[in-house]
Amino acid sequence: MKTILCDSYEEMSKAGALIIADQLKAKPDSVLGFATGSTPVGMYTELAKMNKNGEMDFSKVTTFNLDEYYPIDPKNQQSYRYFMNENLFNKINIDISKTFVPEGYSSDSTAACKKYEKMIKDAGGIDLQVLGIGVNGHIGFNEPAKNLKASTHVTDLTESTIEANSRFFASREDVPRQAITMGIGTILKSKKIILLITGENKSKALNDLLGDDIITDNPATFLKVHNDVTLICDKEAYYGRDNTQER
């Protein structure tokens, strides 16, 4: 795993955007995997800026998002579809019909999962997947558990994730209890992966990534079996509370 240690969130956001820019230079019709959460927002702002300046072209790009709440209306401001439109898609020259988010509105969630997995395959697979990480090590909505799922599936959110994500909703009760998420296998099939980690509260999850163990209680540790993962993090996440610590 390659690590890019940054001095600030701005530096992290730029580092991530530059990797995506390089990807699009090498392959203008790339299939990109995107993540939600607050961490990638700065990088999306940077991508929009680069697109506006003519440094990046998204016209041939296809995207697949990692996950979506279930059930949720895509028009709901807390849906990940709404988030992506607001934070990125409406600001760049992408063909919106080539941007995909799991169908959190489907009445048949199992069919929606199967369809999503097939769509990714039919698009030729994901060239570059962007990931954030939960405080508990979740990637997408692959929560810590004894058994993890390989493919896109419906999952129950853990109490800690419901609590963490309740900051975006009017109340804790409004947070959907389930989500559709790419599985660990779906993520690991991506050709390249970048994982953005910011803040001291993620340092425990990051620490597990730096060791050798693969732990189902920290799903992100499965990324160790992939041969092209770049970790982009700030010092708070990397060193935790004691930022004098040697690594």
Residues at the contact surface with ligand GLP, assessed by CB under 6 A? 35-39, 66-67, 132-134, 140-141, 161, 165
Q: Which is nearer to ligand GLP, 92 or 180 (CB)?
A: 180
Q: Which is nearer to ligand GLP, 1 or 55 (CB)?
A: 1
Q: Which is nearer to ligand GLP, 57 or 154 (CB)?
A: 154
Q: Are strands 128-131 and 178-181 parallel, antiparallel or unpaired?
A: unpaired
In angstroms, give the least distance from the CB of 164 to ligand GLP.
7
* Residue pair 162/172 in contact by the 8 Å Cβ criterion: yes
Q: Which is nearer to ligand GLP, 56 or 176 (CB)?
A: 176
In angstroms, give the least distance from the CB of 18 to ligand GLP.
20
In the numeric block, which tokens belong to residue 129?
Answer: 């997947």
Please pick, among 46, 51, 65, 67, the residue that the annotation labels catalytic. 67
Tell me, yes or no, if 227 is annotated catalytic. Answer: no
Tell me, yes or no, if 67 is annotated catalytic. Answer: yes
Please pick, among 51, 65, 136, 218, the residue that the annotation labels catalytic. 136
Tell me, yes or no, if 143 is annotated catalytic. Answer: yes
In angstroms, give the least distance from the CB of 211 to ligand GLP.
20
CA dist 57 and 183 (Å) reads 29
Please pick, among 117, 127, 143, 236, the residue that the annotation labels catalytic. 143
In the numeric block, which tokens belong to residue 195?
Answer: 């994982």
* Sign of the CA dihedral with 94 first, then 100, 103, and 108 last: positive
In angstroms, give the least distance from the CB of 37 to ligand GLP.
3
In the three-class reduction of DSSP (H, G, I as helix; E, B as strand; rest coil), residue 197 is classed as strand
Q: Which residues contact 142 (CB under 8 A, 6 or more apart)?
A: 148, 149, 155, 181, 183, 184, 187, 219
Tell me, yes or no, if 218 is annotated catalytic. Answer: no
* CA-closest candidate to residue 72, choices 81, 60, 64, 63: 81
Active site residues: 67, 136, 138, 143
